[in-house]
Chain A
C-alpha cells in the first residue's frame, strides 16, 4: 500500500508541474498577480508531493521493503542504514529519481527565494516545470522505480557489488547531480528572458548566485569522483578520460566560461549573446551527460545497462529542449544584440578570448567522446580515444588561456587605454616564473615542453596574484577575493598536475616474504602475508614495512578480497600520505617461486590536485555567501 502511495504522489506531482507549465507559459496573462501567486503555490505543492514520494521511498529502502523490485535488486538487509539509503542512487531508476528530485529542489529554492514581482519568475518556473514533467514521464514510463515483485519477495535482497560500498561513492553522485541540475535555473531564466524578448531586463543578475552555487557542486562532485577512483580502483591515477568523466567535464568547462561571461553581462550587456548561448550549452551538456550514461551507448565503469527505448526517449526530449531554445535564440537574436563593440585589451576582450578557448576544449572532449561511436557506426572498426589526444589538446590550450588570464589581471572593464605589456607586476611575475621554470628544468632534468609550459603558466598566475595581494596589503588597492582564490587555485592545480606527471613513478616488484627490496629512496620489507576470513569475503592481507630516506618507517597493508557469492575479486590499496607525496601499494599474484608481485607507486602532489580543485569550489562558496549577505 505504502509503495502505491509513494508512486501516486509522484504521479500527482507530475500533474501539478504540468499545470504550472501550462499557466506560466501558455496563458497570455501569466504576470497578473493572481496567476503568478497560483504558479508559486502550485509549484510548491508539486515539490512537496514529489519530495514526500522520495522520502517514503527512502523509508522503504531503510526498512528493507523488498516488494519493491529496485530496492530488492540493489539493497540488502545486512547493509548499514547509510548504504541502504545510498543504494537508491546506485543504479539507473533510483538515481534518475534523485536527479529529478534535485531538479525540483532547485526550482523550489528559486521559487521561495525570488520575489513574486520579479518579472521573469513565472516563466522561469514554467520552463523548470515543463522540464520536470518531461523527466518524470521518462521515469514513470520507462524506468519506474516503484515496480513491485509479486508474489513472493526475496528475503534478504541482493548481494551488493562491494566496489559500491564506499563513502565517497555514496556522496559523489548526489553532489554531481546537484551541480548538473542546478544549471536549470540560469537555463530556465534565459529561456524566460528570450520569451519576453525585452533586452532591458537584466536576467544575468538574477541568476548569478544560482549559477555559482551549481558550479560549486559540480566542481566538488568531480573532485570527489576523482578521489574515489584513485583509491578504490587501484590504478593510482586521478583522471582517466573515461567517457563518463568527460561528460562531467564538459558542463564544468561550459559552466566556468558561463559564469565568467555572466560577470561581464551584468556590468555591460556586451557578452549577452555568449552568456545566453552558454547557459543553453551548460544545461544541454548536463542533459547530454544523463543521456550518455543512461542510454547504454557507451561502455564505461559508470554506465548503467539499459534498453534502447530509454535512450530514444531521452534523445527526443533533450532534442525538444535544445531545439526550442535554439529556435527562441534565433528569433530574438537581433533584439538582444549589444551594439557597443568590445574594446581591445579590456577585461571583456580577454574573457571573450578565453570563452573561445574553452569552446575549443569542449568541442575536443565532445569529439573524443563521440568519435569512437561515429567511427564504429560508419566503418565497423573499434577505436578508442585515450589520454594522448586530450593531453595534446588540453596542455597548449590551457597554457594559452592561463596567459590570457595573466594579462587580464591588469586590464580594466570596458577600457582599452593605457594597457602596457611591460609593467612592474607583469615583468616581476614573468621573471620569477621563468626563474622557477628554469630551476625545475635544471634540478629535475626535465625537458618535456608540455610540463615546463604548464609549470610556467601556473606560476605566472600565482606570482601575478601574489603581487596583487602584496599590493592590497600595502596600498589597499582593491582585490576581488573570490577571483584571487579561484585563479590562484587554478595556478596551483596546473603546477600540481605538472609535478605529478613529472615526478610520479611506479614499478612492479616481485618480492619474497621476509626480504627487503628497494625502490627509489624507499626500502620495502615484506613482513607478513595471511588469509583472513570475513563474513562475506576472504582476504589476502600483506604487511609491508616501508622506510623512506629520512629513516621514518610505516606499515602498509594492501589487500586482495574475494567475495563469496559473486566470486568478485577486489583490490584494496594501501596508501601512506605525506605532505608532498603518496606511497601507494597494491598486491598482485603469487609467482611459482613463492614470491609476490607488488605494485608500488609514488604519486607526488596528488593531494594538492584535489586541494586546489576544492579551493576553487571554496572561492565559489565565498562568492555565494557574500552575495546573499548583500541582498
Chain B
C-alpha cells in the first residue's frame, strides 16, 4: 500500500472511531438520565432503583393531603392503585384534591420523595395520557 493511501485509511478509521465513541458516550448519558413516566398501576409490578428519577402522574386522592410545617404529603391514585408522595416546598397554585398532578422524584420503600410537583392546568404541565379506566 502506498503511504498516502495508508494515511488516508488511518484518518478515516480515526474519524470513525472518534465519532462512534462520541455518539455512544452521548447516548449512554442520555439513557442514564431519562425520566420515565408511570401511572401508579404501572409502578406496581416494577422494581425501580432508588437512584432513578421517575415521573408519576395521577389524581390527588381526596382527604389524603397532610401538611406538616412546610412539607406536604399526599397520595396519587389512578383509581386502581395509589402511591404516597412526600414533598418539601410550595405546591403549585392549582394543586388540589381530586385534580391531576405529576410528580418528579425518587422512589424509596414505596414512597415517592418528590423533587418537583406539577399540577394540571399549570403553565408547566405536560399533559400525559393518564388513563382513568373504570372499565373493570
Contact = CB atoms under 8 A, between A and B. Distances in A.
A569 B93 contact: yes
Given A588-B90, A589-B91, A510 B33 contact: no
Interface string B16-47: 00000011001101101111110000000000
A63 B94 CA distance: 36
Contacts of A597: 70, 90
B93 A301 contact: no
Interface in A567-588: 569-571, 586, 588
A298 to B, nearest CB: 9
A537 B124 CA distance: 22
Contacts of A392: 29, 32-33
Given A383-B37, A386-B33, A591-B67, A363 B127 contact: no
A503 interface: no
Contacts of B70: 507-510, 597
Contacts of A570: 93
B53 interface: yes
A560 B94 CA distance: 12
A501 B42 CA distance: 34
A244 to B, nearest CB: 12
A507 B71 CA distance: 11
A381 B37 contact: yes
Contacts of B97: none
A54 to B, nearest CB: 29
A446 B100 CA distance: 39
A388 to B, nearest CB: 4
Interface residues of A, number: 39
B123 A301 contact: yes
B9 interface: no
Nearest to A371: B30
B67 to A, nearest CB: 5
Contacts of B126: 299-300, 384
Contacts of A389: 29-30, 33-34
Given A384-B34, A386-B35, A163 B123 contact: yes
Interface string B115-127: 0000000011011
- Residue in B94, B104, B123 with the greatest tally of chain A CB atoms within 10 Å: B123
A381 B42 CA distance: 11
B55 interface: yes
**B interface secondary structure, majority:** mixed
Contacts of A506: 89
A592 interface: yes
A300 B124 CA distance: 7
Interface string B55-93: 100000000000101110000000000000000111101
Contacts of A588: 90-91
Given A510-B70, A597-B90, A385 B33 contact: yes
A109 interface: no
Contacts of A381: 36-37
A595 to B, nearest CB: 8
B123 A233 contact: yes
Interface residues of B, number: 31
A385 B128 contact: no
A368 B35 contact: no
B22 A360 contact: yes
A589 B36 CA distance: 30
Interface string B100-136: 0000100000000000000000011011110000000
Nearest to B42: A381
Interface string A595-624: 001110000000000000000000000000
Contact of B94 (A364, A386, A569): A569
Given A163-B123, A233-B123, A388-B53, A508 B33 contact: no
A569 B69 CA distance: 23
Contacts of B89: 506, 508, 599
A367 B23 CA distance: 11
Contacts of B30: 364, 367-368, 371, 385, 389
A371 B26 CA distance: 12
A630 interface: no
A571 B93 contact: yes
A455 B100 CA distance: 41
A396 to B, nearest CB: 9
Contacts of B69: 510
B53 A386 contact: yes
Nearest to B125: A299
A516 to B, nearest CB: 16
Contacts of A385: 30, 33-35
A393 B32 CA distance: 12
B33 A388 contact: yes
Contact of B26 (A235, A363, A384): A363
Contacts of B104: 386
B29 A393 contact: yes
Contacts of A367: 26-27, 30
Contact of A560 (B93, B128, B129): B93
Contacts of B67: 591-592
B127 to A, nearest CB: 6
Nearest to B104: A386
A569 B99 CA distance: 15
Given A301-B123, A392-B33, A591-B67, 15 more contacts: A300-B126, A301-B124, A381-B36, A382-B36, A382-B55, A383-B35, A384-B55, A385-B35, A392-B29, A506-B89, A508-B89, A569-B94, A586-B90, A592-B67, A597-B70
20 contacts: A301-B124, A360-B22, A363-B26, A364-B30, A368-B30, A383-B35, A384-B37, A385-B30, A386-B35, A388-B33, A388-B53, A389-B34, A392-B33, A507-B70, A508-B90, A509-B70, A510-B69, A560-B93, A599-B89, A599-B90
Interface of A: 163, 233, 235, 299-301, 360, 363-364, 367-368, 371, 381-386, 388-389, 392-393, 506-510, 560, 569-571, 586, 588-589, 591-592, 597-599
Task: List 9 A-B pairs, minimum CB-CB distance, nearest first.
Answer: A382-B37, A588-B90, A389-B33, A569-B93, A508-B89, A388-B33, A508-B70, A392-B29, A510-B70
